[in-house]
Chains A and B, each alone.
Chain A
Amino acid sequence: MGHSGVVSPFADPDSLARALEATGYLPDAGIATVAYLAQALGRPLFLEGEAGVGKTSLAAALAEIRGSELIRLQCYEGIDASQALYDWDFPRQVLHLRAVEAVGGLTGGDADLAAVEQALYSERFLLARPILAALRTPGAVLLIDEIDRADDEFEAFLLEVLSEFAVTVPELGRIAAATPPLVVLTSNRTREVHDALKRRCLYHWVEHPSLEREVAILQRRLPEITEALAREVASAVGKLREADLLKPPGVSESLDWARALSALGAAHLDTRTAALTLGAVLKYREDTARVESAGLEKLLAL
């Protein structure tokens, strides 16, 4: 690994944490440390955790503080190199060939043919997919989202790219990153990702934020809500997370909930406004039934 060319613009985890805070992402000590290490060691960051704990937004915040682009590769079943790496623009190649013919460019002669062929497989017709785009963008953050959804053959391919930070296009040659991108992989643990890939990464299990941090996040992201409302929402969501639900709400749900309440002009979370907006936090009928039968008052007690 060891990328001597990587110079982290942040001297220690604390300064990275302060930079992240300035973007509106409030990290805890663990996240700040592993994100710092990912930059300092040039290793990919492998994030796991419940849905909605802010794995993807960490990648966005990291891109923002590096002043670079976030390039996202959403994985799905059957994804392959032509969707992740690069592809040739076939229709335009055919069009080009026909155009050359039409203007009489192909009058014979080997030199001519070679020139046309070279033009066909040139940069002009290369479609850069996310990984190639990330290798060519200095300082980019490459987010490989939900790696557990891709097939295991794709993991082997990623392993190769992530160890070299270079790809070979047969017609063009090897394309290597001048400065390797910061790679963030996320997984929802629907299947186990191969250990060889994990070994190459820094692993972090992302937890739900503490009450204080969640209040801070809500206020930071939604300046229009009062501290009292933020505190009420964060405490109610905290109780919901312990209430043994099918889908415990994440930070994105508490943000949705606070947004819904503020859209209704509610200054406080009470049984009436809670009943109206419960759909913003609970996405399963069984969960709603369970919370309602336990009594909304219990949820709201601070």
Chain B
Amino acid sequence: MRMAGGVGAASDVGVNHADGRAGGIDGAGRAGGVDGAGRAGGVDGAVRDATGVFVGFARTLAAAGLAVGPGRTAAFLAAIRALDAANPRDVYWAGRCTMAAEPDDLPVYDAVFAAYFSGRTRSALRPRQRTLQTTVPLPARDDEAARDTDAGDQGETPIVRARASVKESLWRRDMARLTAEERAELAAMIALLRPGLPTRRSRRRRAWRQGAIDRRRTMRAMLVAGGEPGRPAHQRAGRRPRRVVLLIDVSGSMAPYADPLLRFAHVLIRHRPRATEAFTIGTRLSRVTRALAQRDPDQALQGASAVIPDFSGGTRLGEVLKAFNDRWGQRGTAHGAVVVIFSDGWERGSCDLLAEQVARLQRLARSVVWVNPHKGRDGYLPVQSGIVAALPHVDHFVAGHSLATLEELLEVIRGA
């Protein structure tokens, strides 16, 4: 549901789209739940009318991005029936515990509740729409694209050869300096990366031909043999995927890399959906794991950009890493994980805070990998204040400006 909302929203028909979809659920009811004229004061109307109002509320929440489908709507209606539908407090809690699913949903729920039941539906949806309008595509670099087509017109090299050389050079080229066409090709090549990701020992033991005695299987075999002792069965610890956490800087200075890096994250998430987490960092922390979990890379990227409010903004790495550590890292997301930070280290905030937070992250995580696309450039020296502060607390410092370096990065992650 959330996915559908996100994608529809990205094509700036979010609200109407939700209406159309909802209309299918009960076409006869109050059509256009979200457009809702004259909705105020509906709480204590006739029963059927009230149901329409509540269903409209659920649809409004879905349009605002909550994962509300028919199942949750039905649960909401059942909860209201068990309580007092005329009491706003009961309606509030009935809706909150049936239709919100995580702490991030709560502010949205509160805003929609306040707006919907005071008849100001449109303003409740406006923040979401504003977010959508900021989902600008990555800078198209028209100048380069134009230059390239000019060159193409003049060129007389055979097409086949040209394409082969493109692929070869793409492998080592800086991802920020590509034409639109090359970027499309790069995207296709990223989708072909086959990550082999790290594993760790699991507590669950598996049958094996040697190792510790497996008491249960030995007993079972004895039981089958009528109690006669036989050969002991053995077991060993199994392997589980180790968690990988990707923190991708999407601030202005990293903007040209954001698209390929998000695609890279998409490949990893699709490969290990349960053991990979992706966040974008900039001026704010946004979790994009859920958006990037879709199969189609372009839809996944569209979904991700819908949840990133700070594309091409400034950088406050220290504060954002602190937010990550507080809200996710310390609770367990970073425990024993391989944490990969993609950033050029431009820090507008305090570098002391950044150093402190990277150090904290290193204590929580198994290893911290810092990927700096600029490291691949000739004559690069790690002199940006942020990098200088963070480097002492980083286990691996690698480049990440080209496909070749991304492949090397996969190697580092695997061994970390």
Contacts and interface: CB of A to CB of B under 8 A. Distances in A.
B106 interface: yes
A97 B72 contact: no
Nearest to B326: A246
A41 B79 contact: yes
Interface string A243-285: 0001100000000000000000000000000000000000000
A98 interface: yes
A96 to B, nearest CB: 9
A123 to B, nearest CB: 18
A13 B84 CA distance: 10
B203 A29 contact: no
A90 B216 CA distance: 7
B93 A30 contact: yes
Contact of A205 (B69, B106, B333, B360): B106
Given A43-B75, A80-B204, A202-B79, A90 B220 contact: yes
B93 A41 contact: no
Interface residues of B, number: 43
A68 interface: no
B79 A78 contact: no
B94 A94 contact: no
A107 interface: no
Contacts of B222: 94
B94 A37 contact: yes
B82 interface: yes
A293 interface: no
Interface string A204-218: 110000000000000
Nearest to B84: A12
A34 B93 contact: yes
B238 to A, nearest CB: 9
Given A152-B274, A190-B332, A203 B101 contact: yes
A241 to B, nearest CB: 13
Interface string B326-350: 0010111101000000000000000
A77 interface: yes
A205 B222 CA distance: 50
Contacts of B289: 192
B72 A94 contact: no
Contact of B98 (A98, A190, A191, A203): A203
Interface string B214-229: 0110011011001100
B180 interface: no
Interface in B328-377: 328, 330-333, 335, 360
A128 B223 CA distance: 20
Contacts of A188: 331-332
B182 interface: no
A289 to B, nearest CB: 12
Nearest to A196: B71
Contacts of B72: 199
Q: What's the dominant secondary structure at chain B's contact region?
A: helix
B223 A93 contact: yes
B216 to A, nearest CB: 6
A232 interface: no
Contact of A190 (B75, B102, B227, B335): B335
A158 B230 CA distance: 36
B407 interface: no
Contact of B219 (A12, A41, A90, A204): A90
Contacts of A171: none
A34 B216 contact: no
Contacts of A30: 93, 96
Interface in B196-218: 202-204, 215-216
A27 B269 CA distance: 40
B98 A29 contact: no
A34 B97 contact: yes
A33 B75 contact: no
A98 B225 CA distance: 12
Interface string A58-98: 00000000000000000011101000000000110110011
A98 B203 contact: no
A190 B202 contact: no
Interface string A148-190: 1001100000000000000000000000000000000000111
Contacts of B50: none
Contacts of A94: 219, 222-223, 227
B82 A37 contact: yes
B83 A13 contact: yes
A40 B84 CA distance: 13
Interface of B: 67, 69, 71-72, 75, 78-79, 82-84, 89-90, 93-94, 96-98, 100-103, 106, 202-204, 215-216, 219-220, 222-223, 226-227, 274, 289-290, 328, 330-333, 335, 360
The 9 closest A-B pairs by CB, nearest first: A190-B332, A78-B203, A78-B204, A90-B219, A33-B93, A40-B82, A202-B97, A34-B97, A97-B227
17 contacts: A12-B84, A30-B96, A37-B94, A48-B102, A78-B202, A80-B204, A97-B223, A190-B335, A191-B333, A192-B289, A195-B67, A199-B71, A199-B101, A202-B75, A202-B79, A202-B97, A203-B101
Given A30-B93, A202-B79, A204-B96, 17 more contacts: A13-B90, A36-B83, A37-B82, A37-B93, A48-B103, A77-B203, A78-B204, A101-B227, A120-B223, A189-B331, A191-B332, A192-B102, A199-B72, A203-B96, A203-B97, A246-B360, A247-B330
